[in-house]
A = this chain, B = another copy of it.
Amino acid sequence: MDRIGVGLIGTGYMGKCHALAWNTVHPVFGDVPKPRLVHLAEASAPLAEKRADELGFEKATGDWRDLIDDPEIDVISITTPNKFHAEMAIVALEAGKHVWCEKPMAPSFAEAEAMAEAARQSGKVAMLGYNYIQNPMVRQIRKLLSEGAIGSVNHVRVEMDEDFMADPDAPFAARNERANGYGALDDFAVHPLSILQTLFGNMTRVLCDMDKPYADRPVDGGKRRAVENHDMASVLFHLHEGISGVLMVNRTAWGRKGRIALQIFGSKGSILYDQERMNEMQLYQAPGRPGEQGYRTILAGPQHPPYDRFIPAPGHGLGFNELKTIECRQLIGRMRSEDTLGIGFADGLEIERTVHAMARSFERGRWEVVA
């Protein structure tokens, strides 16, 4: 594999993020072939051309299928709205392309299953955009847990909160439609689930409550339209190995901007983490001199790979976008048969399965078994 031919579908929030990752993965890591940014697809040809110029792609098209047919492309980034993921990913995989698809997989579980099946049959790399697990601090937590730094884990709490839908007078949006999913579960819960899966594996049973703080939202013409899904979800859960926990997500949480707060309790200590301060984590270890124990605030540094590939000095801080660059390196690693950290379609399907179990639990008002 001399160079990697890259295709990109979509250039919104995540599309640009993928493009930046493809632009930087080689100079940052130095141990992977330089990607060739071959072909970019957008909703229209003129927009595609504009973006291709900005983001450094050679060719542009208004029809994403042109990327499928492009023999110069090895891997396709899919960053379109969720409802398009399944078709694009399946077609791409069937055409022998590797796929890097943004989360979540698809609105329906059946589609997600089809994606996972297509990936399995293709033998190609199919990875999902769960970038938060790539944070060197999350990896450090994983290392600490595996070394028994806090003993045997028995309880976990995780919260994901933002406030982009907190204003009751914000207009009704696509996000508020049932067709676009359950609400906070699809939007947010999958991220904490990706972290939990990376650290502990999957959930076995869940009990979910959901809520919508605002029953309706303004639409054009001075009227209001009923909100169709839920901006908050709170979930009691059990993981394999006897770990209990609580998952809380809220996209109407005024004041929170990018919070993913994790609390992990074990028999010998505990660990705290908050994505809003993504270059820190906190470690409490019970053994020690009396009166000198406390949470240690560890700042990210070169001892937490691959931070060292970005900056040689500790405490200087990575940014959100750089997590995607790390993810891109993992993807390339998989394309080269390295054993890297990432959530492929098979693992992603378990996340989807869990989300649907949560929704079912809410409807039925009772515990649901996930598997």
* Chain A interface residues (CB < 8 Å from chain B): 13, 16-17, 19-20, 23-24, 26-28, 30, 34, 54-56, 140, 144, 149-151, 154-155, 157, 159, 162-164, 166-168, 207, 209, 211, 213-214, 232, 234, 236, 244-246, 248, 250, 252-259, 265-270, 272, 276-279, 282-284, 286, 290-299, 301, 303-304, 310-322, 365-367
Q: A27-B16, A315-B259 are in contact. Are A292 and B283 (CB under 8 A)?
A: yes
Q: How far is the CA of A33 from the CA of B46 in the complex (A)?
A: 19
- A-B contacts, 22 of them at CB < 8 A, read A16-B27, A20-B27, A23-B27, A154-B213, A155-B253, A166-B265, A246-B246, A254-B266, A255-B272, A255-B293, A257-B299, A257-B313, A257-B314, A258-B313, A276-B315, A282-B294, A291-B304, A294-B299, A311-B321, A317-B317, A317-B319, A365-B367
Residue of A34, A258, A317, A322 with highest tally of chain B CB at under 10 A: A317
B319 touches A303 (CB 8 A): no
CB distance from A294 to the nearest CB of B (A): 4
Chain B residues in 8 Å Cβ range of A26? 54, 56
CB distance from A37 to the nearest CB of B (A): 9
Chain B residues in 8 Å Cβ range of A244? 209, 211, 232, 234
Task: Tell me the nearest residue of chain B to A30, going by C-beta.
Answer: B54
Chain B residues in 8 Å Cβ range of A54? 26-27, 30
Chain B residues in 8 Å Cβ range of A292? 144, 149, 283, 296, 298
Task: Tell me the nearest residue of chain B to A54, going by C-beta.
Answer: B30
Q: How far is the CA of A26 from the CA of B99 in the complex (A)?
A: 25
B270 touches A254 (CB 8 A): yes
CB distance from A298 to the nearest CB of B (A): 4
Task: Tell me the nearest residue of chain B to A247, going by C-beta.
Answer: B246
